[in-house]
């Protein structure tokens, strides 16, 4: 693949697909991590005297409909402050063309407001390509999606290349998974086994011990015990049994349960063999925390994706907090990925204690599964034509 740094951008219209999908509450950005990680790419384009067009999605608005709460305007305002002295404008209606000079920046409104974005509509992809001379893909977090602004545009642009952030993510992930240090401990949380079954299968081939939490753990526990009204997937019990046959999965021995899925619900720690029909598992228990911490302490490489429970509720946060801090204090190489995982890291102020934090969630998992992403193969097509 051609790297952005190796391409002539002088006076060229450069369409840069970034991931500026950040949490916004009351028009205020809660976490600027993804924007900040994109700043070096923007500065590289400025250094090369390009006409810069920045594109991203934000949230999941209804296709083709404008919704103010999903507007990228707060992101635009944040960039204006970070890039003071640079002319930077915001464009809502851009599909028919953009007027822009070198060393200027136009931030496009949320691409998901455009009809056909998620379905990789051909006409929309063409409209994006008409805006630019060069396409730069630098949004790792959406690199697993086949959408118009991340993938379809490549079918119609004359030149396309990989951006520094996407390149860095891929390079680091490849180096980690090519020659990882053992023991490898994988920590996986989240709601469903079904959405992560392929990932779990792949990880179990390289991992020495897997620690599970959340709804995923509940499905494994339900094979042997009654788990009340806890979230689990009955249809995936047989596949969960197959995974357990590797003898690499360490399951919780106790859990924090509540009688309702609520921030007000009281927490009670119980053995997994003693959960009542009106109770639901919302976190791992103290004995499980200690068991998991012992395994983490011996690890040389840690792969972490997902919380251990409903960390948004203070009464069910302890498991996630203790395991997160155990990972942070470990001397091993730790890699974390996924939106909830990043939220946990920020909640407990552990950013500087994790070896590598991936900006991606789904793409992080897909890359681990397949060792590639759809857009990477697409970008390779430009190697000889650029």
The catalytic residues are 34, 192, 339, 362
Place of tokens 């948004």: 312
Calculate the CA dihedral of residues 311, 317, 319, 324 and round it to 10 degrees: 70
Neighbours of 188 (CB within 10 A): 25
Strand ranges in the chain using DSSP code E only, listed in sequence order: 13-17, 24-25, 28-29, 51-55, 88-91, 105-108, 134-137, 159-162, 184-188, 209-212, 249-250, 254-258, 268-271, 280-284, 301-305, 333-336, 356-357
* Cα distance between residue 121 and residue 188, in whole Å: 34
Q: Which residues contact 299 (CB under 8 A, 6 or more apart)?
A: 183, 184, 185, 330, 332
Coil/strand/helix, residue 94:
coil
Backbone φ and ψ of 184, nearest 5°: -100, 125
Helices 362-370 and 197-206: crossing angle, nearest 10°?
50
Q: What are the beta bridge partners of residue 305?
A: 188
Place of tokens 């086994």: 193
| Token reading at 3 | 């790297």
């Amino acid at each position: 693949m051609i790297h952005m740094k190796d391409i002539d951008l002088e006076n060229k219209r450069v369409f840069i697909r970034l991931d500026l999908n950040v949490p916004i509450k009351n028009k205020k950005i809660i976490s600027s991590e993804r924007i900040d990680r994109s700043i070096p790419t923007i500065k590289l384009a400025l250094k090369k005297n390009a006409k810069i067009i920045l594109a991203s999605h934000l949230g999941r608005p209804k296709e083709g409909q404008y919704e103010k709460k999903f507007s990228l305007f707060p992101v635009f305002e944040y960039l204006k402050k970070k890039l003071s002295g640079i002319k930077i404008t915001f464009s809502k209606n851009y599909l028919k063309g953009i007027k822009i000079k070198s060393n200027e920046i136009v931030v496009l409104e949320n691409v998901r407001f455009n009809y056909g974005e998620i379905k990789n509509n051909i006409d929309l992809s063409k409209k994006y390509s008409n805006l630019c001379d060069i396409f730069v893909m630098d949004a790792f977090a959406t690199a697993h999606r086949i959408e118009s602004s991340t993938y379809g545009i490549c079918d119609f642009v004359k030149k396309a290349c990989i951006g520094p952030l996407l390149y860095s993510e891929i390079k680091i992930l490849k180096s980690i998974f090519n020659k990882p240090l053992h023991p490898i401990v994988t920590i996986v949380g989240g709601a469903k086994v079904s959405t992560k079954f392929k990932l779990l299968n792949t990880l179990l081939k390289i991992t020495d011990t897997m620690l599970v939490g959340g709804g995923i753990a509940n499905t494994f526990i339900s094979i042997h015990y009654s788990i009340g009204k806890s979230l689990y997937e009955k249809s995936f019990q047989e596949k969960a049994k197959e995974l357990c046959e590797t003898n690499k999965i360490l399951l919780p021995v106790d859990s924090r349960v509540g009688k309702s899925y609520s921030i007000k619900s009281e927490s009670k720690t119980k053995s997994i063999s003693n959960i009542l029909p009106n109770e639901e598992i919302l976190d791992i228990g103290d004995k499980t925390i200690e068991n998991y911490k012992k395994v983490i302490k011996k690890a040389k490489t840690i792969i972490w994706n997902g919380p251990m429970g409903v960390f948004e509720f203070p009464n069910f946060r302890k498991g996630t907090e203790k395991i997160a801090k155990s990972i942070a204090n470990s001397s091993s190489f730790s890699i974390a990925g996924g939106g909830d995982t990043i939220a946990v890291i920020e909640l407990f102020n552990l950013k500087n204690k994790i070896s590598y934090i991936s900006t991606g969630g789904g793409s992080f998992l897909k890359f681990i599964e397949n060792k590639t992403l759809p857009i990477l193969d697409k970008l390779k097509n430009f190697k000889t034509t650029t």
